[in-house]
Amino acid sequence: MVAEGKYEKLQDLAKRRGLFWGSYEIYGGVGGFMDIGPLGVKLKHNIEEAWRDFFIRRQGLFEIETPMTAPKCVFEASGHLESFKDPMVQCKACGRRFRADHIVKESLEITGTEAERLSLQELERAISERKIACPECGGELMKPTLFLTMFQTTIGPYSEAIGYLRPEAAQGMFTSFKRVYEQARGKLPIGIAQIGRVARNEISPRQGLIRLREFTIMEFEFFFDPEDPSCPFLPEVYDETLNLITEPLRLKGSEEPIELSVREILEKGLVKVEWLAYFMALAKRFLSKLGIPGESQRFIEKLPWERAHYSAQGFDQEVYLDRFGWVEVSGHNYRTDYDLRRHMEFSGQDMRVFKAYERPKMVDALTLKIDKANLGRSFKGHAPLIASKLETMDPEVVKRGFEEVGYIDVEGFRILPEHVQIIHESRVEGGRRFIPHVVEPSFGCERLLYATLEYAYTEREGRVILRLPKDLAPIEIAVFPLMTKDSLCERAQKIYHWLLEKGFRVEYDETGSIGRRYVRADEMGIPLAATIDYQTLEDGTVTLRDRDTWRQVRVRMEAMEDRIRRYLEGNLSFEELGRPIEKS
């Protein structure tokens, strides 16, 4: 008999205590979808609020909400329709479909990086030569194809109005950039944050909360001037050490991290942008706040073929999990001006910002002079659209296109030098217009929820204790009458409602023996249990029990609110809560 690992034990606890379970269980379940239970929802919300406090409030970001559904044009501009695809293979016998690179990885015992690098032709050859069969029925596999991992829908009653469920929250922040920039009174740098649901139509998710088709993402886009990329807050994190696996190390075949301070990382040029390094250091601290120690975290640099299409440099923040090994919980990418530039090109809207010089200065510049009459003769009714696109284009890009191939492409039309004149001129400018660059930290909430639970899961004397950080605990204090007689329940109910009115997250339980109630509270991660006993009726004191040590103290009612609050905030030790109770 194989002993249960932490994963299996946590799955059992999650169902028993209302943390999470598979969705649509009465119909056999659907892969990639999970229900978060009452206790799990409270913990998830606490993680979200901790993230808001850590990043949005402390960093002065602007939080917005944008729709989960976006029209097709948004994802054409962002590049997702072209790039957000995974290789898929189908079984001829049972019809099951799988990630082709995952099948090859498992069969050939190669790394995920090596498998992800394989082209469709290389995957097909590996499946054929190695006679890799369906992992479910052993049947023959078909030729691999690319599968778009975005959910498609229609917007309204018109089948031609195609939309997609967003696979990331980022695009809503890019399309709303100018609006928020106005709210920030035209100042850079600026961060726009969002917590919301996203959907990815994964081919064959089989890892519970770790790989979902619908989940919550917490991310922000941080916009800055590429000519002034310095981060003034770096001294706060200079000495923070990160376990880093760089691109050169990975290319040499090493997955062993090097431990470097942020100062050393930047001095060696291992991270291209100061802001990216700064937020990586904060991400480490945030996970430590969730109870995940620094030695169980690492940052692994994405190789060129692994990076998203928008990324110039990217690092995955990974944590070590019992069953899955190293798992990504957040991604940190330098997106340059890719997204704003693409939306500017596709929408025709100017996404540049203006930054004034300290003094006006004479500059040599290129400008475009559009021959609208010639444009009208050549393109008729399409001319206004083409003209609006040309007005937003960088003159250097137009000049380079004319020099290299003799034309530029605008909306599928070939624009020649006869349609646009490029003028060199010197002029006095009070400032410059440019497209901001962006770094993006993006966190998967459900993965953090699972990681937080796994690192909190402990056992003592055959009993489970969920040692969640006190400020994250879904329930802060449980109120128990010692027995259900002699007015103990009535007094306990009054204390329960009093604590609720004071703003605490409280649970009341009078079912079963006091010992069984302590067991339930420990499994639910409740830091404190207040027991109302006969001495409470005599002198107004209450017994407080610590979840992690099982020690007990007595505290007077009038001191409870202040002391419990300070204890939960980490400003008071358990012994300082009240008078220790001697063990008999």
Residues 45-67, mean pLDDT to the nearest whole number:
97
Query: Which residues in 273-287 are b (16+ Cβ under 10 Å) and which e?
Result: bbbbbbbbbbbbebb
Please give the sequence-ordered ranges of beta strands (E in DSSP) within 45-113, or none if there are none: 62-63, 69-71, 85-90, 97-99
Q: Are strands 190-199 and 552-556 parallel, antiparallel or unpaired?
A: unpaired
On whether the CB atoms of residues 184 and 62 are closer than 8 A, the answer is yes
Tell me, what's the pLDDT at 167?
A: 95
Structure tokens at 316: 């995955």
Measured distance CA(362)–CA(4) in Å, rounded: 73
Residues 499-510, mean pLDDT to the nearest whole number:
96
- Of 59-68, 191-200, 401-410, 517-526, the one with minimum mean pLDDT is 401-410
Ordered domains of the chain (ranges, CATH): 85-148 (3.30.40.230), 357-432 (3.30.720), 475-580 (3.40.50.800)
SS3 284: helix
On whether the CB atoms of residues 27 and 429 are closer than 8 A, the answer is no
On whether the CB atoms of residues 472 and 452 are closer than 8 A, the answer is yes
pLDDT band at 160 (very low <50, low <70, confident <90, very high): confident
Res 110 pLDDT > 80: no
Tell me, what's the pLDDT at 583?
A: 53
Model-level pTM? 0.88
pLDDT band at 112 (very low <50, low <70, confident <90, very high): low
Tell me, what's the pLDDT at 204?
A: 84
Q: How far, in Å, are 203, 205, 206, 207, 208 from residue 211 at the CA level?
A: 11, 6, 7, 5, 6
Res 546 pLDDT > 50: yes
Please enumerate in sequence order all residues whose Cβ is within 8 A of that of 190, keeping only pairs 6 or more positions apart, or say none.
Answer: 62, 180, 181, 184, 222, 223
Q: Please give the single-letter amino acid code of residue 283.
A: A
In DSSP terms, 190 is beta-bridged to 223
Res 229 pLDDT > 90: yes
pLDDT band at 360 (very low <50, low <70, confident <90, very high): confident
Tell me, what's the pLDDT at 582?
A: 58
Cβ burial of 482 (10 Å; 0-12, 13-18, 19+) is buried
Mean pLDDT, the chain, whole residue set: 92
Q: For residue range 366-386, what is the model confidence (pLDDT) as tens digits?
A: 888 898 889 899 999 888 888
Tell me, what's the pLDDT at 78?
A: 94
Res 2 pLDDT > 50: no
Q: For residue range 139-154, what is the model confidence (pLDDT) as tens digits?
A: 999 999 999 999 999 9
Tell me, what's the pLDDT at 3?
A: 58
- Top pLDDT among 18 and 117 is at 18
Res 401 pLDDT > 80: yes
Tell me, what's the pLDDT at 584?
A: 40
Structure tokens at 132: 């890799």
pLDDT band at 1 (very low <50, low <70, confident <90, very high): very low
